[in-house]
Structure 1
């Protein structure tokens, strides 16, 4: 069961895609639903993603795909007033590539994290502006990468690692691992017998092995933001 605003938003997105083949911008969604800020749009989109009504297309700005439609009530809000049959299924065809947008969100920036030897975790906190298209559902934060042990995974010194908060991980995922509640590192996560193994992506570094009781997953890598001087 969707809330009224969730229902209005998925209908508005689907109508715009049917009309133009391009997802509406976050500003357009905010105005159509009479919301006070874009953060409300992000929350609605995340809720619709979790319920499998929409999904974000990776590596594109303003790229949303409607997976299924709820039944439309007899009366819809202005945001969802474009003509369409009740319970219309989302089109399965590939849509035209959306045009870029400048939608950004601010997420906490928790200092520097070692991609080599673990260093103290979460040194201070500020905010980092990130293109919304780089983030999926869930809560995110950013860490500045320090070191070169993940270069073979394309993660370089000075990059910003975008992390989705979670306390669980599967083998082979890149995670932020907090060790003894004081040091953090960015590594591939693997289980090795009774131990946790944190693997670098640089042949010059050795894997790190720890007892499970002293390692806590603090998040999984969602993306990388790189600045060029």
Structure 2
């Protein structure tokens, strides 16, 4: 075999290997983008490089795969739905306290589903694997809740926090926690309720195709 032919074969082999590596990386990237949605862009944007961000997302998947996640039985779902309706009723007279209660209720539900409930950032990372579509709701709700603790949140802010908490709550619960007879389009602008936050809020089921009214 001539030296020229050997060089050509080596080049061909290297090109094939490079093509395989590229295809594997592209496939992995597509899977991560599909799995994490907007969270993919957020993590990659915050990382030193795209590769570092993707490694972070893969590590999240490996970590969550070790959790003993569990679906809730019907009795537990009913109990949580009742608890959520009580939070909405509480909002009428004590908006700030209702938001605080909603935060505690969501944390309790996260724990009952099998997720660790340590630090807030760890909760976000863990939830992003299975609940990426409602993760931004959790961020917004948490931010308002923190402002509320300092007395910097208006009633409308608190109402929005409850709407955001409900989005994650419904996602974790697997159904809309509020009994309803109808729903307003998700892009409609809700009013501050005079009696309670109800079905005239934007139905969070609109952000999750699999959420249903009870």
TM range (shorter): under 0.3
TM-score (structure 1 length as normaliser): 0.24
Which of structures 1 and 2 has the larger relative contact order (alpha carbons within 8 angstroms, sep 6+)?
2
Answer 1 or 2: which has greater helix percent: 2
Q: TM-score, normalised by structure 2?
A: 0.25
Report the structure number with the largest CA radius of gyration.
2
